């Protein structure tokens, strides 16, 4: 029966069997010391000549060989205890050793931090990179956060519901990834930039509280902490106001940090708030770093940025655009400004949560009045025919009785990045693309067979 290495610290005097990888091998004359690693940790194993079966096999081992080791767990002498390992107070005295699989020499050292290795090389051999201690810890941290989020939201009345990954292309800010349809030649699906319209229709459906840890897709230029596919904690609530959403989102984040990352210190609770206008005036940014000591990596400075403008004038396109998205509700006091086309002075019921200079959450109250929503689309330059073509499904749904609703989306990769003490979201994503949206591991994107293109009615110019 296999034991996880982490549990061997409590097995002194017992014979156990472990399975994992050879982390390192040190030959000290007649005695061979092995560090054996699995997902739970590392243990030192000792092969001595008085156990010839294990000793002779240990001579053949090299780093990253996959092995099965049977032996007795013994307490280390006091002066040889390694306080940096959970198993540092014990070692395994090898009785039997089986090589389950050999390994060629890795392209980089796995028993050290890989952060300094060329990133494309790390991504090409990502399965090796993920074996390193830091990357394994990042993946486990992400798992723990996933479990906490699901439990917290479920306990607070949210229902986890999946929404489609292939849907309709609609203008929501960034470029869509298009998916050609074989059965309807010349027509395309789009990968969702977010589940925005589906979650709003779930509110029309009476679900009341929805959430999803969801993949989103945006075909935009790579910069900063962005990926063509990324993860959101997506949530929507009915019969609420902005204050209700801020409170539940703040409680989620606060409890997550305290439970999963107790060594991290939240600078101030409740989270302070600042208006968009004041943030720009004071910091020239809508996501400034509010830490009192930016060099203290254990400090988490959260701050709400509220009262965003509803519209912004896009000089390049010579038209007005939505700061957040067109479904954002206009502040009640500013509704009359919409009728007067006083667009530059209209505030939205939109809010962002900033953490150490990173936007980690964004959301808004949604417009649930079909007439106001149609007016917003007109301001954004859509004709009535375009509105019907692109958003008719949502406007039709709203005619059947839509509750007041709103929600938020957590930029999950960024949040995990900060909690893990990393500086790039690629360090907390299992299989990311590089800065050019290319995947060295799978050599993707890549060309496809001519036959596939013919089936789709597509030719490449």
| Maximum average pLDDT range among 169-178, 244-253, 368-377 | 244-253
pLDDT in tens, 261-278: 999 999 999 999 999 999
Residue 388 confidence (pLDDT): 84
Residue 11 confidence (pLDDT): 93
pLDDT in tens, 70-110: 999 999 999 989 998 999 999 999 999 999 999 999 999 99
Binding-site members are 172, 218-220, 227, 324, 359, 366, 411-414
Instruction: Look at 78-87, 136-145, 202-211, 299-308 and tell me which has the smallest mean pLDDT.
Output: 78-87
Averaged pLDDT for residues 345-351: 93
pLDDT for 173 beyond 70: no
CB-based contacts of 187, cutoff 8 Å, min separation 6: 180, 181
Could you tell me the domains of the chain?
5-101 (2.40.50.140), 131-429 (3.30.930.10)
pLDDT in tens, 388-410: 888 888 889 999 999 999 999 99
pTM for the complete prediction?
Answer: 0.92
Binding-site members for ATP are 218-220, 227, 359, 411-414
- What whole-number percentage of the chain has pLDDT above 90? 78
pLDDT for 45 beyond 80: yes
Average pLDDT value for the chain: 93
pLDDT for 225 beyond 80: no
Binding-site members for L-aspartate are 172, 218, 324, 366
Residue 342 confidence (pLDDT): 87
- Structural contact between residues 350 and 308, judged by C-beta atoms closer than 8 angstroms: yes
pLDDT for 220 beyond 90: no
- Structural contact between residues 313 and 320, judged by C-beta atoms closer than 8 angstroms: yes
Residue 28 confidence (pLDDT): 85
Token code pair at residue 69: 């080791």
């Amino acid at each position: 029966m296999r034991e996880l290495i982490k549990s061997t610290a409590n097995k002194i005097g017992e014979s156990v069997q472990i399975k994992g990888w050879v982390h390192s091998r040190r030959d000290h004359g007649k005695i061979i010391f092995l560090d054996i690693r699995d997902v739970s940790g590392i243990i030192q194993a000792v092969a001595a000549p008085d156990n010839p079966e294990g000793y002779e096999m240990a001579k053949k081992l090299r780093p990253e060989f996959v092995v099965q080791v049977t032996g007795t767990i013994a307490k280390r002498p006091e002066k040889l205890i390694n306080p940096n390992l959970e198993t540092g107070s014990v070692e395994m005295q090898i009785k039997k050793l089986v090589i389950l699989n050999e390994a060629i020499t890795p392209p980089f050292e796995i028993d050290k931090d890989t952060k300094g290795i060329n990133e494309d090389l790390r991504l090409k051999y990502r399965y090796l990179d993920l074996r390193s201690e830091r990357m394994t810890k990042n993946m486990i941290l992400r798992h723990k956060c996933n479990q906490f989020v699901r439990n917290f939201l479920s306990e607070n009345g949210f229902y986890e519901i999946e929404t489609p990954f292939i849907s309709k292309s609609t203008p929501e800010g960034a470029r869509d990834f298009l998916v050609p349809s074989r059965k309807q030649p010349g027509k395309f699906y789009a990968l969702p930039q977010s589940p925005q319209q589906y979650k709003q229709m779930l509110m029309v459906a009476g679900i009341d509280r929805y959430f999803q840890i969801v993949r989103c897709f945006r075909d935009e230029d790579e910069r900063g902490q962005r990926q063509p596919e990324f993860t959101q904690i997506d949530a929507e609530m009915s019969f609420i106001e902005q204050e209700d959403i801020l409170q539940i989102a703040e409680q989620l984040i606060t409890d997550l940090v305290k439970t999963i990352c107790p060594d991290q210190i939240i600078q101030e609770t409740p989270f302070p708030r600042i208006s968009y206008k004041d943030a720009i005036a004071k910091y020239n940014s809508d996501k400034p770093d509010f830490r009192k000591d930016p060099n203290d990596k254990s400090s988490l400075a959260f701050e709400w940025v509220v009262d965003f403008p509803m519209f912004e004038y896009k000089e390049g396109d010579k038209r007005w655009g939505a700061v957040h998205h067109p479904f954002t509700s206009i502040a009640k006091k500013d509704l009359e400004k919409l009728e007067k086309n006083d667009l530059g002075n209209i505030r939205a019921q939109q809010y962002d949560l900033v953490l150490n200079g990173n936007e980690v959450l964004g959301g808004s109250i949604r417009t649930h009045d079909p007439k106001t929503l149609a007016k917003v689309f007109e301001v954004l330059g859509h004709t009535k025919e375009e509105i019907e073509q692109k958003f008719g499904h949502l406007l039709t749904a709203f005619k059947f009785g839509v509750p007041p609703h709103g929600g938020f989306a957590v930029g999950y990769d960024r949040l995990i990045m900060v909690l893990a003490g990393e500086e790039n979201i690629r360090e907390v994503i299992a299989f990311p693309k590089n800065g050019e949206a290319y995947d060295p591991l799978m050599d993707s994107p890549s060309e496809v067979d001519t036959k596939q293109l013919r089936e789709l009615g597509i030719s490449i110019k």
